[in-house]
Amino acid sequence: MMTVLYAYQGNLYVNLTNRCPCRCTFCLRQTRDEMDGSGSLWLDREPTVDEVKAGLDRHDLSKYGEVVFCGFGEPTERLDAIVEITRYIKENDPSVPVRVNTNGLSDLINGRDTAADFAGIDAVSISLNTPDPEEYLRLTRSKFGPGSFNAMLTFAGNVKNYVPKVTLSTVSTTITPQEEERCAEICRGLGVTYRIRPFE
């Protein structure tokens, strides 16, 4: 049984795809198949938008803190589906916030400036990982190569014109306090929030 929608820490997660242009050295997919009893997040095939909508109909969205696009892959590989499903959620229950967790490489994945597509989404959370472009490439092994880090920052700066909450994050204990200060500075420059996530 493949899992498309799953509840995790009070939120409802949408697992749209297993595709991703990165092969992060720390990717959870390397060591597990699911999140807290979600069922396997490896998809036999990608769910259609109608299947996701039908799945959402079976949930009382007001019970969840947020609907989050995030799973075993990079959600912006299916940006059109995110847009359509978000519109559907907002038509049915405008009070439930929608977040996208992303590696921030949407522009490279889709071959254009995609920031405006995120209008209507409440929050975008981007993995910054490190303040250093070379280290970023070493960690993410992005197939787009050395331009990836700057493309991610450009996307973050652009998407904040459309999305109220844009956050760049690193993981606690994985970089030095000095590096965290450089990350905070990058975020101040972009006008987005910096968050240090707990180590999982």
Tell me how far CA of residue 140 lies from CA of 3, 98, 127, 133, 164, in angstroms.
Answer: 25, 25, 10, 11, 27
Residue range at the interface with ligand SF4 (CB under 6 A); choices 17-25, 49-57, 91-99, 111-119 = 17-25
Question: Is 187 exposed, middle or buried, given 0-12, 13-18 or 19+ CB atoms closer than 10 A?
Answer: buried
Task: Tell me the closest approach of the beta carbon of residue 109 to ligand SF4, in angstroms.
Answer: 11
Task: Tell me the closest approach of the beta carbon of residue 93 to ligand SF4, in angstroms.
Answer: 28
Name residues contacting ligand SF4, limited to 100-119 (CB under 6 A).
Answer: 103
Task: Count CA within 13 A, CB hemisphere, residue 133.
Answer: 10
Interaction of residue 151 with ligand SF4, rule CB under 6 A: no
Task: Tell me the closest approach of the beta carbon of residue 28 to ligand SF4, in angstroms.
Answer: 7
Task: Tell me the closest approach of the beta carbon of residue 143 to ligand SF4, in angstroms.
Answer: 10
Q: How far apart are CA 76 and CA 69, in angstroms?
A: 9
Q: How far apart are CA 71 and CA 5, in angstroms?
A: 9
Tell me how far CA of residue 5 lies from CA of 59, 181, 182, in angstroms.
Answer: 10, 36, 36
Interaction of residue 52 with ligand SF4, rule CB under 6 A: no
Interaction of residue 20 with ligand SF4, rule CB under 6 A: yes
CB 71 within 8 Å of CB 41: yes
Q: Is 165 helix (H, G, I), strand (E, B) or coil?
A: strand
Of residues 22, 68, 85, 137, which one binds ligand SF4 by CB under 6 A?
Answer: 22
| Residue closer to ligand SF4 (CB basis): 3 or 103 | 103
First-last CA distance in the chain: 25
Binding pattern for the stretch 124-143 against ligand SF4, x by CB under 6 A and - elsewhere = ----------------x---
Of residues 24, 83, 186, 190, which one binds ligand SF4 by CB under 6 A?
Answer: 24
Residue range at the interface with ligand SF4 (CB under 6 A); choices 1-9, 24-32, 159-167, 188-196 = 24-32
Interaction of residue 27 with ligand SF4, rule CB under 6 A: yes
Of residues 4, 13, 74, 124, which one binds ligand SF4 by CB under 6 A?
Answer: 74
Question: Alpha-carbon torsion 50, 118, 150, 197, what sign?
Answer: negative
Task: Tell me the closest approach of the beta carbon of residue 182 to ligand SF4, in angstroms.
Answer: 21
Task: Count CA within 13 A, CB hemisphere, residue 33.
Answer: 7
